[in-house]
Every structure is written in structure tokens, then in C-alpha cells.
């Protein structure tokens, strides 16, 4: 790459960055657009849409409220009023508030965790959350979320090894009621819920074969970085043979689920989940997720699931909530492939993370070390396993470096005008010297899946949440070592020190790698541009990920230094000269050399055929 070309590319880069910065929408434009997207999503979902003036305060999709006077004059009229004092169901891990209005779980606190700001971690709470049955009765639409239930007892605290249950009853008349039966064990993130009906077969509209279970919730910000939390938050579900799937992560979406029984669905936040498991499966339903203009809200969720209603005297539908961390070993115990909602990457990256990296990581955790030390040891283990590939790559690049003077002579002799002939001469040299030109690239390509696997592993690793190391107060998010006070394209409003160290180490690695390989021209410059691009990408990624890449670079330096002590260029040159003297029959061709020879031979045949055709055309003329 000459100076003019490099200057042109550099100017183009400046123009792209400058235009991105100058043309980026204002905060007010972004806020207005998000509100518009939310309204569009609600309109598609068939929900009422607030006016533009009220769009900024929208917090969740809402179900139309039932007219109070109509209820008093109709079914469940006596349940239109009641006490608002919540009943508390509590164990060692959860503190659950159950509201008499709707008989629903109105608030869940995880007692072992805190938010990034050191506040109690509340999974959800407030009026933006709804849970209840929707059905027709006496010509009216009934939503149990608006009616008052009667608790069977007072607040209950469950100790380890014990269990307790609480019934919330919605009375219609004597012998006709709906029960929400909650159960809780002493050391569990699970809350059992059985919806039971008695004598309701003559109350529910005769045309209805299902009751609609409506659950809506607003999940508020719990982590440092709202953008990252939104990126990893969405609704997941497991439906029939289709298995586990999810809604859009970056956009609002509503999806109809009609193919097979729905075993569970999840309102998943980055590191925590609200999951409802149906032991007998929902017949069908729909899920919706939407973003909000409110900077304290991650996303709003809504689900409408169809519960089969057998028109009998007594019916029951058992379910179970999971309110807890997105920790793989805990989610695995829930069954139904719930652990698959943790994104460990696409094939084959998820298998590398699931069956190689994670077991090693969990094994190292048993020693009780800090997570900074665990990542260091994990890196050493992986680099040691990959050492044979690193050695082979270094040796191959050293051979190509030794051959470079002879390649330069061939290039000067043949010139740049005939690339096909130049490549043929290079292949002849490779064949005589017994060198595979891709020998340095292939080992690096084999290591690439592991490098990329960590790109998914660290951002989704719950164990790193709020774990500190050195100046990094939380390895699961970026370390804002420098606060800029303003927004920059690609970087945001901060600069991560660990990302800087990772980038510097990568640039140094690139420099020494170029010395080993003898890279020149465009390849040399691309090697320096790539780390700068990745600095912009990884600046907002977890400091634990940047810490791993930094350690990997440092260990690679150490490995190459040791390898260099055992690799002598003079010996390599002597070996190449010996290979040249061997008869062609004694030399073993690599697969690459054979394919290249076949390709060159094919090109020559094509060129010869074209020449003959051109000659015939000339004679006819």
C-alpha cells in the first residue's frame, strides 16, 4: 500500500466517523422515535395506544379496565372492593408480596442480590404489572386482575427444609370460586401456583373452552449499562417440537404461538429471569416485548396464554414460577431446556462454551479464587492446550520469512504483469522447498472459534456480575476509567482502561507478528487497523472479556519468545535447501499445493482453449 492509498483510506475513515457524529439524531429525536415504535407495537398487538403527548410516560402494554359500576351490578360484584394490604410469602432467597387485588404476585425481591446502585433487587413491582384470568361471564368481560381476592391466612416465612402454601380466593357465590394456590419451599427460587376453579362451569361463557392468562410486567434497570441490559433482554419460550426460541432483542415484537404446547415462557432480563412453567402446557398464546423511552426501564413484556377449561365442577391447572439468576447450573435444574435462554453463541461456538470453557471455569471456581485469578488460570490452560498450533504457525511463518528473498527475486524476474505466471513460479518454489504457504494461517484459523466463543461467554456469564478485580469494580460490564462527559461515535461517553491495554497489546503483538511473518503491503497495514476498530467495538463490552484478550496477547508473547529460542532461521534455511535437492518423487505434496497445481493446470487449459477459439475466428475472417 503506497502513501497516497493509505492517505486516501485514512481520509475516508475520518469522513465516515465525522459524518456519523454530525448526523446522529439528538436525544429528543431518539426519544420521540422510541415512543413511536412503542405505539406502533401496541397498535399491532391490538392494545390501546396513548396519545403522542402521553407517549413519553408509557411504561407497559395495558389491558382495558373493567367498568366498576358494571361489575357491581354483574358477576363478582362483591369482589369489586377489598383490602389493599399485601400478604408476604418469604423464604431465604425470596420476599414475595401478593396483592389481594388480583390475587397476584405484585412484587418479588431477590434477597441475595443488589442492583448496581446497591439497592435491593426487585424483579418487578408497581401498577405497571398485571396478572390474572380473562374470560366472559354473564355477557361481560371479566379480568381477575381488577377484582379482590381473600387470603387464606396472614404473611408466611418459610425456613430451610420447610414449605408453606397460601390460597387467594375469588368468590362468585357460595360453592363457586377461583383459587390461586401459592406454595414456597425454604431454599428455592421457585414459587408454585395452581389455578383451581370450583363450580365455574355455569359462570364462564358457554362458548369458551379456554381461559386467557394475562401477564404483563415492566422490568426496570438493574445494571450499570442500560444499552447492554436491553441487548440481552427479551422474551423466550419453549413450544412443542420447535424447542426454545425468542423474540427480537433490539426491536419491539409481538408473536403468535400456535404450533404445539407451550411448556414455558420467560421475561428474561440480562442476568435475571421471570419464568412461568406450565406443567401441562398452554394450548396457545402470544408474547410481546417493547422498549420504552424511560431510561429507568429496560423493557416491557406482555403474555396472553390459553389455559384449557374443562367444563366440570372442579378444575386445576398447575404451574410454577422461577424468579432468579440466569446461572446455567441453576437453570439446568429447572428442566425443559430453560438454560438454553442463555446465549452462548451460534454453532459451533455454543458447544465450545458449553462443553469446554464452562466446565473448566466451574472447576476453577471450586478453589475459591478471585475471578481475576480464575480468568488468568483459564487463559493459561487454554493457551497451553493450543500451544502445538501456535508452534506450528510460528514455524510456518518463519519458513516463509526465510523464503522471502527468493520470492522477491522471482517477482523481480517475472514482474507484476502476469500474476498467473508469478503464482506458478511461487508454487514451484514452495514445492521444491517443501513449504505450505497456508501453514501459518490454518493453525490461527483453528484458534479463531475459541477467540470468538469468549465474545459470547463473558457477556452472559452471571458469575462475573459485581465481581471486582484491580480497578475493575464489575467484571461483567465496562470499566469507565475515563468519563468523557460527552458522547463519541462508537465509544460512548467513557473510555475503558482495560480495553486500551488490550488494544495496545494487540498492536504490539501485530508488530512482532509482522516481523516473524515478514508481512508487507496491505496485509501489514490491515493488521494495525483491525485493533483500532475493535477498540471501538469492545470499549463498552465487559472488562472481563478485555482482560482475557489482554492476557491471551501477553501469553502469546511469552510463547513466541520461548519458541524463538528453539527455532533457528539458519537451520530452517539449510533444511529448505536440502528439500530442494530431493527428487520430486520423494517430496510429499500438501493438500493446498495439490489443489493449487490443479487450479493452475485448469486455468492453463482454459487459456489454451480461448487461444484456439480466437485463432479459428481470425482464420474465418
DSSP string, 376-435: HHHHHHHHHHTHHHHHHHHHHHHHHHHHHHHHHHHHHHH-SS-HHHHHHHHHHHHHHHT-
Q: Quick: pLDDT tens for 109-127.
A: 999 999 999 999 999 998 8
- Residue 341 reports pLDDT greater than 60: yes
Cβ–Cβ contacts within 10 Å for residue 564, how many? Answer: 14
Which pLDDT value is given to residue 231?
93
Domain boundaries, the chain: 59-342, 354-578, 591-620
pLDDT at position 66: 41
CATH number of 59-342: 3.40.50.11140, 3.10.20.740, 2.70.98.90, 3.30.70.100? 2.70.98.90
Within 13 A of 103's CA, how many CA atoms are on the CB side?
Answer: 29
Which contacts of 40-44 are long-range, i.e. CB under 8 A and separated by 24 or more positions? 40/252, 41/252, 41/253, 41/254, 41/288, 41/290, 42/290, 44/254
93 within 8 A of 189, measured Cβ to Cβ: yes
Above pLDDT 70, what percent of the chain? 79
For residue 5, the model assigns a pLDDT of 40
- Write out pLDDT tens, residues 270-284: 999 999 999 899 999
* Coil, strand or helix at 223: coil
Q: Please check whether residue 567 is in contact with residue 394, taking contact to mean a CB–CB distance below 8 angstroms.
A: yes
| Residues paired with 88 in a beta bridge | 97
Angle between helices 371-385 and 387-414 (to 10 degrees): 60
Q: Which helix (H) or strand (E) element contains residue 603? A: helix 591-620
pLDDT at 128: 83
What is the per-residue burial (b if ≥16 Cβ within 10 Å, else e) of 580-619? eeeeeeeeeebebbeebeeeeeeeeeeeeeeeeeeeeeee
Given a contact cutoff of 8 angstroms between Cβ atoms, the answer to whether 314 and 287 are in contact is no
Q: Which residue has the higher pLDDT, 554 or 530?
A: 554
Distance CA 460, CA 457 (A): 6
Task: Encode pLDDT of 374-394 as tens digits.
Answer: 999 999 999 999 888 888 888
Tell the residue number behind the cell numbers 493457551, with chain if given.
Answer: 383
* Higher pLDDT among residues 20 and 501, named by residue: 501
- Rounded to an integer, what distance in angstroms lies between the CA atom of residue 555 and that of residue 568? 21
- The confidence band for 62, taking pLDDT boundaries of 50, 70 and 90, is very low
Look at residue 48 in the predicted model and tell me its pLDDT: 39
Residue 250 vs residue 435, higher pLDDT: 250
Residue with cell 484458534: 447
Q: Using DSSP, state whether 533 is helix, strand or coil.
A: helix
Task: State how far the Cα of 621 lies from the Cα of 616, in Å rounded to an integer.
Answer: 9
Residue among 242, 247, 236 at smallest CA distance from 260: 242
**3 band by pLDDT with thresholds 50, 70 and 90:** very low
pLDDT beyond 90 at 255: yes
Burial class (CB in 10 A: 0-12, 13-18, 19+), 331: buried
3-class SS shares of the chain: helix, strand, coil, % to 5: 45, 25, 30
Which pLDDT score is estimated for 98?
A: 96
Sign for the CA dihedral angle at 452, 454, 458, 462 comes to positive
According to the model, what pLDDT value does residue 588 have? 55
Read off the pLDDT of each residue in 471-498 and give the average, rounded to a whole number: 89
Question: What per-residue confidence (pLDDT) applies to 13?
Answer: 46
Q: Is the pLDDT of residue 69 over 80?
A: no
Highest mean pLDDT among 192-196, 404-408, 427-431, 615-619: 192-196
pLDDT exceeds cutoff 90 at 29 = no
* Stretch among 189-198, 396-405, 416-425, 515-524 having the lowest mean pLDDT: 515-524
What pLDDT score was predicted for residue 354? Answer: 92
Do 301 and 234 touch, CB atoms closer than 8 A?
A: no
For residue 197, what is its C-alpha cell? 376453579
Cβ atoms of residues 297 and 218 within 8 Å:
yes
**pLDDT band (50, 70, 90) for residue 11:** very low
pLDDT at 8 over 60: no
Residue 160: band (very low, low, confident or very high) from pLDDT cuts 50, 70, 90? confident
User: Across 40-175, where does the E strand assignment appear?
Assistant: 87-90, 94-98, 105-114, 120-124, 130-137, 140-143, 150-151, 156-157, 163-173
Does pLDDT of 559 surpass 60? yes
Compute the average pLDDT of residues 86-90: 94
Binning pLDDT at 50, 70 and 90, where does residue 34 land? Answer: very low
Give the chain's length: 621
Q: In the structure, what pLDDT confidence band is assigned to residue 165 with cuts at 50, 70 and 90?
A: very high
**CA gyration radius, the chain:** 32
Q: Which residues contact 300 (CB under 8 A, 6 or more apart)?
A: 59, 60, 61, 128, 216, 217, 218, 219, 289, 290, 291, 292
- Residue listed under C-alpha cell 520430486: 584
Question: Across residues 345-356, what is the average pLDDT?
Answer: 90
Q: Is the pLDDT of residue 478 over 60?
A: yes
Could you give phi then psi for residue 52, rounded to 5 degrees?
A: -55, -35
pLDDT value for 614: 60
Mean pLDDT of 187-206: 94
Q: CA-CA distance, 315 to 307, in Å (whole number)?
A: 11
* pLDDT value at residue 573: 75
Quote the mean pLDDT of the chain: 82
The grid cell for 167 is 390460597
Listed residue (226, 237, 235) closest to 290, CA to CA = 235
pLDDT digits (tens, 9 = 90+) for 257-313: 988 899 999 999 999 999 999 989 999 999 999 998 889 999 999 999 999 998 888
Reported confidence tier of residue 372, pLDDT bands at 50, 70, 90: very high
User: Across residues 492-506, what is the average pLDDT?
Assistant: 93
Q: What is the percentage of the chain residues whose pLDDT exceeds 90?
A: 50
Is the pLDDT reported for residue 360 higher than 50? yes
Q: Grid coordinates representing 307? A: 389455559
Cα 620 to Cα 320, 367, 607, 613, distances in angstroms: 86, 86, 20, 11
pLDDT score of 584: 56
- pLDDT value for 212: 96
Selected residue with higher pLDDT from 31 and 427:
427
Amino acid at each position: 500500500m503506497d502513501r497516497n492509498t493509505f492517505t486516501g483510506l485514512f481520509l475516508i475513515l475520518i469522513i465516515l466517523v465525522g459524518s456519523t457524529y454530525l448526523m446522529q439524531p439528538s436525544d429528543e429525536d431518539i426519544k420521540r422515535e422510541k415512543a413511536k415504535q412503542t405505539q406502533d407495537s401496541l397498535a399491532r398487538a391490538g392494545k390501546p395506544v396513548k396519545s403522542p403527548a402521553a407517549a413519553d410516560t408509557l411504561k407497559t402494554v395495558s389491558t382495558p379496565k373493567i367498568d366498576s359500576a358494571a361489575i357491581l351490578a354483574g358477576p363478582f360484584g362483591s369482589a369489586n372492593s377489598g383490602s389493599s394490604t399485601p400478604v408476604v410469602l418469604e423464604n431465604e432467597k425470596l420476599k414475595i408480596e401478593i396483592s389481594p387485588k388480583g390475587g397476584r404476585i405484585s412484587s418479588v425481591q431477590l434477597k441475595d442480590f443488589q442492583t448496581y446502585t446497591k439497592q435491593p433487587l426487585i424483579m418487578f413491582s408497581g401498577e405497571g404489572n398485571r396478572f390474572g384470568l380473562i374470560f366472559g361471564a354473564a355477557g361481560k368481560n371479566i379480568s381477575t386482575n381488577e377484582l379482590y381476592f381473600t387470603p387464606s391466612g396472614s404473611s408466611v416465612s418459610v425456613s430451610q427444609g420447610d414449605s408453606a402454601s397460601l390460597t387467594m380466593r375469588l368468590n362468585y357465590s357460595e360453592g363457586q370460586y377461583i383459587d390461586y394456590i401459592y406454595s414456597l419451599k425454604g431454599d428455592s427460587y421457585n414459587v408454585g401456583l395452581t389455578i383451581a376453579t370450583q363450580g365455574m362451569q355455569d359462570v364462564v361463557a358457554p362458548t369458551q373452552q379456554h381461559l386467557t392468562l394475562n401477564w404483563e410486567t415492566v422490568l426496570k434497570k438493574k445494571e450499570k449499562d442500560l444499552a447492554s441490559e436491553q441487548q440481552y433482554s427479551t422474551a423466550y419460550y419453549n413450544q412443542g417440537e420447535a424447542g426454545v426460541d425468542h423474540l427480537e432483542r433490539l426491536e419491539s415484537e409481538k408473536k403468535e404461538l400456535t404450533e404445539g404446547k407451550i411448556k414455558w415462557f420467560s421475561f428474561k432480563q440480562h442476568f435475571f429471569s421471570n419464568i412461568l412453567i406450565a406443567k401441562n402446557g398452554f394450548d396457545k398464546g402470544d408474547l410481546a416485548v417493547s422498549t420504552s423511552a424511560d431510561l429507568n426501564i429496560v423493557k416491557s413484556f406482555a403474555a396472553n396464554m390459553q389455559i384449557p377449561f374443562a367444563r366440570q365442577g372442579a378444575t386445576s391447572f398447575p404451574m410454577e414460577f422461577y424468579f432468579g439468576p440466569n446461572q446455567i447450573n441453576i437453570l439446568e435444574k429447572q428442566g425443559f431446556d430453560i438454560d438454553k435462554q442463555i446465549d452462548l453463541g451460534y454453532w459451533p461456538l455454543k458447544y465450545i462454551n458449553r462443553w469446554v470453557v464452562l466446565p473448566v471455569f466451574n472447576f476453577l471456581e471450586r478453589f475459591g479464587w478471585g475471578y481475576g485469578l480464575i480468568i488468568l488460570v483459564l487463559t493459561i490452560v487454554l493457551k497451553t492446550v493450543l500451544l502445538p498450533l501456535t508452534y506450528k504457525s510460528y514455524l510456518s511463518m518463519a519458513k516463509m520469512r526465510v523464503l522471502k528473498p527468493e520470492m522477491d527475486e522471482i517477482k523481480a524476474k517475472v514482474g507484476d504483469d502476469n500474476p498467473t505466471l508469478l503464482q506458478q513460479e511461487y508454487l514451484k518454489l514452495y514445492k521444491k522447498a517443501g513449504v505450505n504457504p497456508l501453514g501459518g494461517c490454518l493453525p490461527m484459523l483453528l484458534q479463531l472459534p475459541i477467540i470468538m466463543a469468549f465474545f459470547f461467554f463473558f457477556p452472559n456469564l452471571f458469575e462475573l456480575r459485581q465481581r471486582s478485580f484491580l480497578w475493575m469494580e464489575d467484571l461483567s460490564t465496562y470499566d469507565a476509567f475515563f468519563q468523557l462527559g460527552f458522547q463519541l461515535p462508537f465509544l460512548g461517553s467513557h473510555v475503558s482502561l482495560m480495553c486500551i491495554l488490550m488494544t495496545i497489546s494487540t498492536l504490539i503483538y501485530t508488530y512482532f507478528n509482522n516481523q516473524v511473518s515478514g508481512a508487507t503491503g496491505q496485509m501489514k497495514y490491515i493488521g494495525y487497523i483491525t485493533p483500532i476498530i475493535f477498540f471501538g467495538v469492545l470499549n463498552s463490552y465487559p472488562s472481563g472479556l478485555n482482560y482475557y484478550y489482554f492476557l491471551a496477547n501477553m501469553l502469546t508473547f511469552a510463547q513466541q519468545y520461548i519458541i524463538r529460542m528453539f527455532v533457528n532461521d539458519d537451520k530452517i534455511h539449510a533444511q529448505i535447501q536440502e528439500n530442494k535437492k530431493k527428487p520430486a518423487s520423494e517430496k510429499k505434496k500438501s493438500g493446498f499445493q495439490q489443489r493449487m497445481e490443479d487450479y493452475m493446470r485448469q486455468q492453463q487449459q482454459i487459456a489454451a482453449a480461448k487461444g484456439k477459439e480466437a485463432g479459428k475466428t481470425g482464420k474465418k475472417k
